[in-house]
């Protein structure tokens, strides 16, 4: 989903500011979406120009305090964008890029990459487990369970294979 659609999605749960959208993405959506404030405000401006969102309260409030509401047009846009989603996933991973070229690294750097990734996955696993799932929709709970399953599988893989690659690489150094 693009940032505009993510903004519409957050607003489908209630009125909030750009900062509120950023916080919602960080706290509850980061397992499937990311959005910086630098991307959120232009996306909100575009959504407002399309009639998908409208300001709530003082229109002259500073941008970071301006509240937004999803309009009916925005609900339709969000529903259409959600219906258009297919079953593909996009994985862009600096970790995997580093490991792809691990033959160029020192073994300590390979160990560091694996250790850093494991630590990040464990943090994400704790964050996901700490989300208030009782207050969520079934679709939201599904995304949490899915993210926990993939995170757990990644941890299990790295715990087993993360050290094995170092041993294998020590036997196969490419100049």
130: buried, middle or exposed (CB in 10 Å: 19+, 13-18, 0-12)?
exposed
Q: How confident is the model at residue 172 (pLDDT cuts 50, 70, 90)?
A: low
pLDDT of residue 67: 92
Task: Spell out the domain ranges in the chain.
Answer: 3-83, 94-171
Q: What is the pLDDT of residues 15-64, one digit of tens each?
A: 999 889 988 888 877 767 777 778 899 999 999 999 999 999 876 777 76
- Each residue's pLDDT tens digit, 133-163: 998 899 999 999 999 999 999 999 999 888 7
pLDDT at 62: 73
Give every CB contact of residue 121 below 8 A, 6+ residues apart in sequence. 151, 154, 155, 158
> Is the predicted pLDDT of residue 175 greater than 60, yes or no?
no
CATH number of the structural domain 3-83? 1.10.10.10
Average pLDDT over residues 62-84: 90
């Amino acid at each position: 989903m693009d940032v505009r659609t993510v903004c519409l999605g957050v607003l489908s749960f209630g009125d909030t500011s750009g900062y509120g959208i950023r916080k919602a993405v960080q706290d509850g959506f980061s397992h499937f979406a990311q959005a910086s404030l630098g991307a959120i405000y232009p996306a909100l401006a575009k959504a407002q120009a399309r009639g998908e969102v409208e300001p709530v309260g003082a229109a002259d409030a500073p941008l970071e305090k301006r509240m937004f509401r999803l309009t009916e047009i925005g609900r339709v846009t969000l529903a259409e964008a959600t219906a258009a989603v297919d079953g593909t996933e996009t994985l862009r991973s600096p970790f995997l890029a580093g490991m792809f070229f691990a033959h160029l690294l020192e073994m300590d750097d390979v160990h560091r990459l694996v250790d850093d990734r494991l630590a990040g996955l464990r943090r994400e696993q704790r964050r996901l487990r700490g989300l208030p799932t009782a207050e969520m929709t079934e679709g939201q709970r599904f995304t949490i369970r899915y993210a926990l399953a993939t995170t757990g599988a990644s941890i299990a893989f790295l715990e087993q294979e993360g050290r094995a690659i170092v041993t294998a690489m020590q036997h196969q150094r490419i100049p």
